[in-house]
Amino acid sequence: MPRRDLVWFGLFAFVYVPLCVTLEASVPCRGGPDEGDHYLYIRALGDTCRLPIRAPVYAGRLGGGDRVSRQIQHPPLYYLVGAVVYRLAKPWGPAATWKAVRGLNIALGVAALYLLLLTARLVLSRRRDLSFAPVVLCALVPASAYLSCVVTNETGAAPCTSAVQYALARVIWLGPSRRRLAALALLLGLGGLTKYTVLVWLPACLCVVPVVVWRARRSWRLVAEGVTTILTVPLAVCGGWFVRNYLLYGVPVFRNVISPPLFPGGLPQIAALPDELLLSCCHLIYRSIPMAWTPYWLIAQTPGWTRLLCRGSFVITAPIALGAVFRAV
């Protein structure tokens, strides 16, 4: 990226970060959606260095009484990074750990916006003056700034979603190569280890990659190689998490939605995989979309077969994004 654009993004971050810090100071601890449970997950990892398993491995005074995190069904990557920050800030007390983990989320939000800028610069190579438009538009969505200043894995999913989007844009606009396809598949796998909703991009990649590879190379063998890469690499990266859940609970995806003190028998509710995917899609619509939808109205200006796809995406996601704005307000 040219130095001038880095300077402009630095100035933008100089305004955006204090805005997030001010918003963070106005939101009390546990004031975000399920923030106390997300923090308990991080604290359990930081204190025990082990993933929570079914019954509580950590119970502490938080809010109304002793309880275990109800978020242990989520993949661990975001919480592992948060646990490292938690341990670094732990000597300064509980308040410092809250602020430190929230600071991590602000940094992740800025990273998501930076990746969004890279995508816009790639797609709008002939209109560099518009490359900051999706970044500013995304930053002005109230849900984006709000989720960037509270403890939640939604913010961890945001840079993963933006990174997958950028990698897919590189495959489309710069041409498919083994390196770019492997990078896209690796980011999908890491996103799946962060939050299940990132894997919603997998069907989109499986639809786009074969068309792009065929138009560029005219080889069915390379098309099959690209599809195999997109399928196998994410499975190798995050498949172990689903295998672990199956060995422990009998299903690849489980939900722990009731505190064990209310149900001493153990994990009270285990949902089937289709139910969890439906819930994940709902979360994608209401929370993850504000970080991902905004470039589509700009991408739709590009010629070729992508125009219809991008305009269709805009028609679908624009009302969702507006709904997210009103929901946040």
pLDDT digits (tens, 9 = 90+) for 265-304: 333 333 333 444 444 444 444 444 444 443 333 333 334 4
Nearest 5°: phi and psi at 245? -65, -40
pLDDT digits (tens, 9 = 90+) for 203-254: 888 888 898 888 888 788 888 999 999 999 999 998 888 888 888 777 777 6
**pLDDT value, residue 83:** 93
**pLDDT value, residue 54:** 58
Q: In the 8-state DSSP scheme, what is residue 288?
A: I
CA–CA gap between residue 220 and residue 281 (Å, rounded): 32
Residues linked to residue 61 through DSSP beta bridges, in sequence order: 66
Using alpha carbons, select from 253, 23, 292 the residue that is nearest to residue 148.
23
- Residue 270: domain span: 3-328
Using alpha carbons, select from 186, 197, 207 the residue that is nearest to residue 158.
197
Residue 254 to residues 38, 53, 194, Cα–Cα distance (Å): 16, 11, 15
Consecutive H or E run containing 65 = strand 65-67
Q: Which of 57-61, 192-196, 201-205 has the lowest mean pLDDT?
A: 57-61
**pLDDT value, residue 27:** 74
CA–CA gap between residue 205 and residue 184 (Å, rounded): 9
Strands (E) in the chain, as ranges, are 60-62, 65-67
Q: In the 8-state DSSP scheme, what is residue 129?
A: G
Nearest 5°: phi and psi at 62? -150, 115
Residue 180 has pLDDT above 90, yes or no: yes
CB-side neighbour CA atoms (13 Å) of 268: 9
Predicted TM-score (pTM) above 0.85: no
Q: How many domains does the chain have?
A: 1
Q: What sections of 175-305 are H helices per DSSP? A: 178-194, 201-217, 220-249, 273-283, 296-299
Q: What 3-state class would DSSP assign to 55?
A: strand
